[in-house]
Amino acid sequence: MSKVTVVGSGFVGATVAQLLADKDIADVCLVDVIDGMPQGKSLDMMQAAAVHGFDRKLVGSNDYADTKGSDIVVITAGIARKPGMSRDDLLKTNANIVQTVARETVKHSPDAIFIVVTNPLDVMTYLTWKTTKLPASRVIGMAGVLDSARFQTFIAMETGFSVQDVRAMVLGGHGDLMVPLTRCATVNGVPIANFLSKEKIDEMVKRTQNGGAEIVALLKSGSAYYAPGSSVVQMVEAILKDQNRLLPCAVLADGDYGLKDVYIGLPTVLGREGVKRIVELKLEKEEAELLKKSADSIKENIDLMNKLLVAV
């Protein structure tokens, strides 16, 4: 039986745990620093097994020792930005949390593949890679799957076609500098330019780039978790079932797309080893420039994080 540890039992972490069990993908260890929270949520999910008909085991814990032997570790632990909190405060706080989580979990599961969800995502994925000292193929950030799902949803909403027929890919960092590849977006193989005006496509690009902020504004408190959780599960399933899925993920660029030493969203083949390879697409000049701009922004945040942390 495959085992997945999810660190952080908030809305995203709990959604990941529930979906992994419900889809019969893996047993789950849900970990949190808050006493009772992961235990209570995992027990609640186990009681749903009789209704949904799954036999996967879910265990809640405050002890990293219980994560031993995990095939995959998902890091969702961290805080959301609060009123009065600067970007530096958020970066430093979450970096310290992620650094601790990565250090503790890799002790008990040195052969695991890590999927990072905590924001700022690209920077936290880089930090996890540095902290665990694992091969970059085994440290991956979840963002491109989510951003692409949002773009696909908006295309379906605007065209009226089933979202099942919509395909789209979003590259770059997880923020307003992400790069939706509009010319590659299709409805059952037909480019969306056949159905939508350039102005409407540009509107959808902007909405995708601000997808998370739109939900935060609507909720008033908290942030998205259904779509992020589902996106993590798609990645976990691709890895555990060795599906060779081509998905946009935050991976280490080592000369790919002319980028170096930065975690950023690129087309990635996921399988049992983690990142099997990065697929190099022929980007148009504007797309390549936007991707580089996104990478430069991530590098600036990595430099800032290095200054804020005592040691990386």
Q: What distance in Å separates the CA atoms of residue 33 and residue 162, rounded to the nearest whole number? A: 41
Q: Take residue 188 and report the two structure tokens written for it.
A: 């059952």
Alpha-carbon distance values, 6 to 13, 187, 281, 305 (Å): 6, 34, 32, 24
- Please state, as a whole number, how many other Cβ atoms lie within 10 Å of the Cβ of residue 48: 14
Catalytic residue among 56, 174, 245, 299: 174
250 token code pair? 């935050």
- Tell me which residue has tokens 């209570």: 40
- C-alpha to C-alpha distance for 312 and 299, rounded to whole angstroms: 15
Known catalytic membership, residue 174: yes
* C-beta separation of 5 from 74 below 8 A: yes
Check if the beta carbon of residue 14 is closer than 8 Å to that of residue 48: no
Query: CB of 5 within 8 A of CB of 67?
Result: yes
Residue linked to tokens 């909405």: 207
Half-sphere exposure of 18 (CA within 13 A, CB side): 21
Residue 225 phi/psi, 5-degree rounding, is -145, -25
238: left (phi over 0), alpha (psi -120 to 50) or beta: alpha
Q: Which of 87, 78, 69 is nearest to 116 (CA)?
A: 78
Q: Which helix (H) or strand (E) holds 225?
A: none
Catalytic residues: 174
